[in-house]
Chain A
Amino acid sequence: MRRFSWFNATSLTLGFAFLYIPMIILILYSFNASKLVTVWAGFSTRWYGELLQNEAFLNAAWVTLKVAVASSTIATVLGTMAAYVMVRAGRFSGRTLFSGMIYAPLVMPEVITGLSLLLLFIGIGLDRGIVTIILAHTTFSMCYVSVVVSSRLVSFDRSLEEAALDLGCSPFEAFRLVTLPIIAPAVISGWLLAFTLSLDDLVIASFTSGPSATTLPIKIFSAVRLGVSPEINALSTIMIAIVTVAVITASFVSKRASVRQQAEEKAAVRATG
């Protein structure tokens, strides 16, 4: 047991206060009965009710969700493929350049990515809407997936694939039956990462969205410019809740996988020993 120390307690409190006080205030005010954001007038869930009546917000939320699911799924497929090729292809001329280019969007300022995509879409005459947002989100979240998956693939024992080939699998079957199930946790975390990135992206979405489709972050941002309303607070609170649940679920899933493995190992030791 570590001894209690005032220094540790203070720094912990300060750190958490810094992180969470803004959010707590936001959550509190979402239950404020008053229309004035800064004046407390008693507890109420009124704004949540009104939020549910607000077509524009609900539409935006629906678009956001569709964009996040579609773009993170495509990004996961493409990112996993890219990672696989980068790790497996061995040396070929231009490999360093190629892998550098896959990861470049990670460090590229979002405004530039957004702007270049906008120019592309205008150039090829693609009307801005949900499709363009999905394409744009896929573009930038794919490299995150690729980073996550390739770090797992680097430590993947190649002889497992060789064994699969040896036992009669085609290369694709070997990937599907052996490689993919083993790297699945990394692929899933890649997907979750892409999903959350897409959910809270404002900059790229505002470049690539059109009048027909707006995402929630854009909606909130433009609403806030007209003044913070308690409805926005309610909406933000819901988003915080969703993200919290998602993060907890994700860490729980990965924890459980490792805990179960340990438990199985213990059981096996008991059974044999």
Chain B
Amino acid sequence: MTEPVFAPWDDPNEKPLIEFKNVTKRFGDFTAIDDLTLDIYEREFFALLGPSGCGKTTMMRMLAGFETITEGTILLSGKNIARVPPNRRAVNMMFQSYALFPHLTVWDNIAFGLKREKLPKDQIEARVQEMLKLTRLEKFSKRKPHQISGGQRQRVALARSLAKAPKLLLLDEPLGALDKKLRQDTQFELMDIQEKTGTTFVIVTHDQEEAMTVASRVAVMDEGRLIQVATPAGIYEMPNTVYVADFIGDVNIIEGHGTKTGDGYDVTFAEGQPALHAKTDAQLGEAARCYLAIRPEKVTISAERPDGAVNVVQGTIHDIAYLGNLSTYHVELPTGQILKAQAANTRRLSRRSFTWEDKVWLSWTDTAAVVLER
């Protein structure tokens, strides 16, 4: 039995949970969010990625009800939320600054939202206990926020926002202060919670690996605009601009001049170098100035010229970055350009086949490179 693919964004009959319709947010004459249109579906794990100050927190604050919308509308379950006060929205937010109540213990912080719902005592007790266990804070339940570490505070904030099991949960950099192990555990916990409760998550993160791990879709933002919204694989394999390709993961960008040939483009990038061929359905505009984006792991490095490869260039090894399981080779072409190639370190360090100043060949297939217009 194969699981049905979760892709409500491809289904025209699916109703989005959140709809941003031409939303603009200005602070004075500074535009923080610029004419943004976006649908987020129920049960999604939606990641917002972008450089500092691009408007991620602002987007969340509009959803939670702390910022008014300058232009456009936001619909939540089909209803305009402009006039709904924050305490009447089925939305909980984990603040980037945590915003823990300093006068309450960890326990009371987590119970705060539950108490507002006037739940019976034992139910609150049970739920808080569950949250403490989830975030491994049982030992600290009697402490005040100033008596615990930064990572523990972050977990309290997370537990507090999760406690009410809201329909929509906004997490503003929820795991930034955690160490790698705990972060991965929490990521899986979050995904697990989502499986169980069907909560929709919108998560801001600076960590693209995290976005790749947890997200059903990723939005890459820049200066208040959405640059690309796609699945993690889509963003990684098919970036729509150089900006996105560069933002997510490591990439080689080769600027050149494209000419249409058969199933794709031939790109000439320097005198005396062979044209590089890339398959694509995309159509370049008149100018034909284009960029090739190639992931380093798709570039094969070899000592001999490989037979039958579509794209081959020669260069010398300029630098080697040893990453443990992988090594990244920085290869300088005769044109002065540096291309990165990644190879798995299957052999011990001392027996590696390439070293500095070696002459090597780099090759990649005609589907490895993405042709981009800008």
Contact = CB atoms under 8 A, between A and B. Distances in A.
Contacts of A171: 85, 87
Contacts of B143: 268
Nearest to B163: A167
Contacts of A268: 143, 146-148
Given A160-B102, A165-B86, 9 more contacts: A159-B95, A163-B99, A164-B112, A165-B66, A166-B93, A168-B87, A182-B102, A261-B146, A264-B147
B100 to A, nearest CB: 8
6 cross-chain pairs, A with B, having the tightest CB-CB distances, nearest first: A268-B147, A167-B113, A168-B116, A163-B99, A159-B99, A165-B86
A272 B112 CA distance: 25
A181 B87 contact: no
Contacts of A272: 148-149
B103 interface: yes
Contacts of B64: 162, 166
B174 to A, nearest CB: 14
Contact of A267 (B65, B112, B147, B164): B147
A170 interface: yes
A178 interface: yes
B41 interface: no
Interface in A188-230: none
Contacts of A160: 99, 101-102
Interface string A153-175: 00001011011111111110100
A265 interface: yes
A166 B147 contact: no
B144 A167 contact: no
A123 B214 CA distance: 73
Interface of B: 64-66, 85-87, 91-93, 95, 97, 99-103, 112-113, 116-117, 143-144, 146-149, 160, 164
Contact of A162 (B66, B100, B112, B113): B66
Interface of A: 157, 159-160, 162-171, 173, 177-178, 181-182, 261, 264-265, 267-268, 272
B30 to A, nearest CB: 16
Contacts of B93: 163, 166
Given A264-B147, A265-B146, A265-B147, A165 B87 contact: yes
B79 to A, nearest CB: 18
Nearest to B139: A271
A162 B64 CA distance: 9
Given A168-B87, A169-B87, A178-B101, A163 B147 contact: no
A159 B116 CA distance: 18
Given A165-B86, A167-B160, A265-B147, A173 B116 contact: yes
Given A159-B97, A163-B99, A178-B101, A168 B66 contact: no
Contacts of B65: 165-166
Given A157-B97, A181-B103, A162 B86 contact: yes
A173 B87 CA distance: 11
Nearest to B97: A159
Given A167-B92, A170-B87, A264-B147, A162 B160 contact: no
22 contacts: A157-B97, A157-B99, A159-B99, A160-B99, A160-B101, A162-B95, A164-B101, A165-B87, A166-B64, A166-B91, A167-B87, A167-B92, A167-B112, A167-B113, A167-B116, A167-B160, A170-B87, A178-B101, A264-B147, A265-B146, A265-B147, A267-B147
B86 A166 contact: yes
Contacts of A157: 97, 99
A171 B91 CA distance: 16
Contacts of B97: 157, 159
B83 to A, nearest CB: 15
B89 to A, nearest CB: 8
B313 to A, nearest CB: 53
B229 to A, nearest CB: 26
Contacts of A165: 65-66, 85-87
Nearest to B93: A166
A166 B144 CA distance: 21
B92 A166 contact: yes
A163 B101 contact: yes
Please indicate which of the listed interface residues B97, B100, B101, B149 has the most CB atoms of chain A within 10 Å of its own CB.
B101
A267 B95 CA distance: 27
Given A157-B97, A157-B99, A167 B147 contact: no
Nearest to B89: A166
Nearest to B152: A272
Nearest to A161: B99
A41 B142 CA distance: 63
